[in-house]
Amino acid sequence: MAKITQLSQLDLNASYTYADYLTWQLDKTVELIKGKIMMMSPAPNVKHQSISWQLSGALFQYVKSKSCHAFAAPFDVRLYDHQKSLKADKDIHTVIQPDLCVICDTDKLTEQGCLGAPEWVIEILSKGNSKKEMQIKYALYQESGVTEYWMVYPYEQAVHQFVLDKATNKYQLMEMFAEDDIATPHIFPDLEIDLKEIFAE
């Protein structure tokens, strides 16, 4: 079998699995969403990376005293419908790289990354993120059982906090934080994140 090193060697209309993904040695970073290849945005800009760095600092400092782990992209997270239990590489059709994620169930951690839903995912939106891409990720995180999902808007200096309602398995918009607010994750009520510092140039 020929080694896959270029995106042009793949059929973008075909459906792939995590087992396929593991064999690729592509020159570009891709995500696999329900079997379909999705190109990732170009390299993040300075604003995106600054926010990621500030948030990473706050998360890593906090989880040091917990039995949780925080990871920044690139870090493979394999997702599946949490109401099903398909875990074999050939049965997994979604592999994504969230900007930041926190995992408290260490059984989900493997050498390759995370197998299953992190407790908390943070995506920092770029100008290149399309509405469709945002909707796809929102639906994926909801379906796979990510407890808390933050969408960070760098240019608006805002954070939308979604928390999964266990009764309905649907996200509820819990808070909309802005500029100099203190943002507190639902799953870690003792963690206070000063957005003035996060959004500082």
Q: Could you tell me which residues are beta bridge partners of residue 110?
A: 113
**Averaged confidence pLDDT in the chain:** 90
Confidence of residue 76 (pLDDT cuts 50, 70, 90): very high
CB atoms within 10 A of CB 141: 25
Question: Do the domain assignments include residue 133?
Answer: yes
Count of structural domains within the chain: 2
Question: Do the domain assignments include residue 63?
Answer: yes
C-alpha dihedral (185, 55, 32, 21), degrees to nearest 10 = -120
The more confidently predicted of residues 118 and 29 is 118
Question: Do the domain assignments include residue 1?
Answer: no
Percent of the chain clearing pLDDT 70 (strictly above): 91
Is residue 42 within 8 Å of 128, Cβ to Cβ?
Answer: yes
pLDDT computed for residue 140 by the predictor: 93
In angstroms, the CA 183 to CA 161 distance is: 9
Task: Tell whether 89 and 73 lie within a shared domain.
Answer: yes
Task: Tell whether 34 and 83 lie within a shared domain.
Answer: no
Question: Do the domain assignments include residue 2?
Answer: no
Task: Tell whether 28 and 56 lie within a shared domain.
Answer: no
In angstroms, the CA 155 to CA 124 distance is: 10
Q: Is the pLDDT of residue 83 over 70?
A: no
Burial class (CB in 10 A: 0-12, 13-18, 19+), 124: buried
Task: Tell whether 132 and 50 lie within a shared domain.
Answer: yes
CATH classification of the domain holding 189: 3.90.1570.10
Confidence of residue 130 (pLDDT cuts 50, 70, 90): low
Alpha carbon of residue 53 to chain centroid? 15
| Structure-token pair, residue 17 | 């699995």
Beta strands (DSSP E) in the chain are 30-33, 36-39, 69-72, 77-79, 94-96, 100-103, 109-110, 113-115, 120-124, 148-153, 158-165, 170-178, 182-183, 193-194
pTM of the complete model = 0.90
CB atoms within 10 A of CB 172: 11
Q: Is the pLDDT of residue 104 over 60?
A: yes
Q: Is the pLDDT of residue 112 over 80?
A: yes
pLDDT digits (tens, 9 = 90+) for 134-170: 899 999 999 999 999 999 999 999 999 999 999 999 9
Q: Which residue from 76, 74, 86, 89 is spatially nearest to 20, judged by alpha carbons?
A: 89
Q: Which residue from 160, 191, 155 is spatially nearest to 173, judged by alpha carbons?
A: 160
